[in-house]
Amino acid sequence: MSKEQQKLLNEAYKNYSKKMMYHPVENWLDDENDEKTYRQLSQEEFINKCKTDLEFSEIWRLTIEERELSLEELNILYNKRRGVGEIDTKYTISTVVAKDPTIPRKLITITYNDTKIESYE
């Protein structure tokens, strides 16, 4: 994850923390005994919930999308690193990874308050 993406995540969590501090009713969570307890989500829990809960993600205006790169995308990255001008798609994913194990395999897109940052991992 890039520094810019981490900065966006920190900003989103800071906003969440401020709002939840002043609205504790929204922070009541069910525990294992079906009792309500007050607890603010940690930053890691907040991020995971934004990844998995679309409604929660929309409320806080933070979307985190992770996806594996396609063979075509891997080939494009591989050829760019090699300095090849034209796109050569003859390689398989395993060939690309074997030839250059540092090629990223995942695209992470973080959007917060209309700011979108993509990075490869």
pLDDT of residue 24 exceeding 60, the answer is: no
Reported as a single tens digit per residue, the pLDDT across 6-20 is 999 999 999 998 887
pTM, two decimal places: 0.75
C-alpha distance from residue 63 to each of 1, 4, 30, 74 (Å):
14, 15, 24, 24
What tokens were used for 93? 């994913």
Reported as a single tens digit per residue, the pLDDT across 29-39 is 555 666 656 66
Task: Report yes or no: 79 and 95 within 8 Å, Cβ to Cβ.
Answer: no
Across the chain, where does the E strand assignment appear? 28-30, 36-38, 62-68, 106-112, 115-120
